[in-house]
Amino acid sequence: MNAVLITIGDEILSGTTVDTNSNFIASQLKNIGIKVSQIFTISDEVESIKKTLKTAFESDDLVVTTGGLGPTKDDKTKKAFCEFFNDELVLDDATFLHLEQLLIKRKREFLLEINKPQAEIPSKAKVFQNFNGTAPSLMMEENGKIAICLPGVPYEVKPLIKEQIIPYLQERFQQNFIFSRIISVVNFPESLLSEKLESWELSLPKNISLSYLPIANRVKLKLTAIGNDENVLNQQLDEEVLKLKPLIEEFIISENGDKIEEILHDLLIKKKLTLSTAESCTGGELSHLITSVSGSSNYFLGGIVTYDFHKKIEILGVSEKTILEKSVVSEEVAQEMSLGCQKLFKSDVSLSTTGVAGPNSDEFNNEIGTVFYSIRIKDFEKTFKLYLPHLDRKDFMNFVSMKVLQELVLIIANY
């Protein structure tokens, strides 16, 4: 079975809000063997919704929409669903009771009358109650075609999908198993990697596919196996990974992890190393990535953002002479920052970043896009330089932070 996702909302089209729902829903559907064939983003207009539903059902039997459910006049999804499925809205007692109890619990019972329209649902609809919000999820079905509409708020969408929609679809439709393995490779350009693995890739079983997913200087090789026997699929994946490893073993940093911060977590725990950060141009993004992993408190002692060069001197002990002679964006300052950080937090490992994220230069007129970062593990230290003038500020911070963690993982793996 394939599915079509429809994201409804002018705020998505205008760029005001980022659509994270589609990515999440697609990944959850994939886990139960349902592939997303198309994703539409449309305005919150009845005719637009009806037209897109018609287009979606011409190719696939399952449609999932997000957004356009609420008490306001611009939420038109239910009206569009009624017109498309030739139905009418009726007050659903169970949904109204749930709504009333939810608002009382939140001490907002005065909003009940305003929110009452959310308890009105198409008469033919199946309801999935939303325990984290006021708008329920609804399912309509006709001639084997199924449409499920969800609210647009991500923290409401996720539990609805994981706890109700996926179990319902899994129970109703017998789907193939889908299993994946991710092999993370560093310092091997994607084009050369593809050439190196060509023979191995061409010999993969027909039910196993390979994807190249580049992130900074890392390439994630994603093996995906589809079939109806769980044990056979896992055995196939094990065999293919064993064939792959000798070809690129020195470039592999992980055979299991997906995100670099997750890979780092496993390595630091295994090696029993503690970590700290001293950031300038990355503005805390490095610490954010590290602490986004559950259990990071076992090794991450702390981080500091010394944006002003006086604070580099005052807090990290960077030499003023070094800054004046070499500039704040220099190999020497990066090294002194990591040393000061290591001493400050008394950590085994310390990281530092100093550079110019742009779009303007710094007070030392350093070239935009220039960055130095230092990795220090006990008495070992290595400094790196990057030049990224093509990246905007946000992408610069993220790329540099990912790059630092990737280099750290590579060093620790061989430490």
Give me the DSSP letters along 176-210.
-EEEEEEEEEESS-HHHHHHHTHHHHHTS-TTEEE
Tokens of 92: 């659903």
Instruction: Tell me the longest C-alpha to C-alpha distance in the chain.
Output: 78
pTM of the entire structure? Answer: 0.72
| Per-residue pLDDT tens over the stretch 89-142 | 999 999 999 989 988 888 888 888 888 888 999 999 999 999 998 899 999 999
**What pLDDT does residue 213 have?**
92
Average pLDDT over residues 299-323: 97
User: How many angstroms separate the CA atoms of 279 and 316, rounded?
Assistant: 11
CATH 3.30.70.2860-classified regions of the chain: 177-254
Nearest residue to 95 via CA among 123, 133, 131, 136: 136
Nearest residue to 397 via CA among 257, 279, 304, 260: 279
Average pLDDT over residues 174-199: 89
More confident residue, 399 or 31: 399
3-state percent breakdown (helix, strand, coil) of the chain, nearest 5: 45, 25, 30
The confidence band for 228, taking pLDDT boundaries of 50, 70 and 90, is: confident
Looking at every residue in the chain, the average pLDDT score rounds to 93
Residues 6+ apart with CB under 8 A from 46: 76, 79, 80, 83
Query: How many residues in total does the chain contain?
Result: 415
Position 360, amino acid: N
CATH 3.40.980.10-classified regions of the chain: 2-172
Residue 19 above 80 pLDDT?
yes
**What pLDDT does residue 138 have?**
96
More confident residue, 281 or 258: 281
**What pLDDT does residue 229 have?**
87
Nearest residue to 4 via CA among 58, 74, 79: 58
Which of 54-58, 70-74, 75-79 is the least confident region?
Answer: 70-74
**What pLDDT does residue 72 have?**
65
Residue 73 above 80 pLDDT?
no
CATH 3.90.950.20-classified regions of the chain: 260-413
Helix extents (H) in 85-205: 93-105, 112-115, 154-160, 166-172, 190-196, 198-202
Residue 187 above 90 pLDDT?
no
More confident residue, 321 or 361: 321
Q: What is the CATH number of domain 260-413?
A: 3.90.950.20
Average pLDDT over residues 191-196: 95
* CATH topology classification for 2-172: Molybdenum Cofactor Biosythetic Enzyme; Chain A (3.40.980)
User: How many angstroms separate the CA atoms of 354 and 89, rounded?
Assistant: 59
Cβ–Cβ < 8 Å for 180, 222: yes
The confidence band for 23, taking pLDDT boundaries of 50, 70 and 90, is: very high
Q: Is residue 173 exposed (0-12), middle (13-18) or buried (19+ Cβ within 10 Å)?
A: middle
**What pLDDT does residue 292 have?**
96
**325 to 101, 332, 333: CA distances (angstroms):** 67, 10, 10
* CATH topology classification for 177-254: Alpha-Beta Plaits (3.30.70)
Tokens of 266: 């496993």
More confident residue, 53 or 74: 53
Average pLDDT over residues 281-308: 97
Residue 5 above 70 pLDDT?
yes
**What pLDDT does residue 32 have?**
86
DSSP strands (E only) in 46-116: 62-66, 89-91
**207 to 116, 175, 197, 247: CA distances (angstroms):** 49, 14, 18, 22
Tokens of 363: 């007070």
Residue 226 above 70 pLDDT?
yes
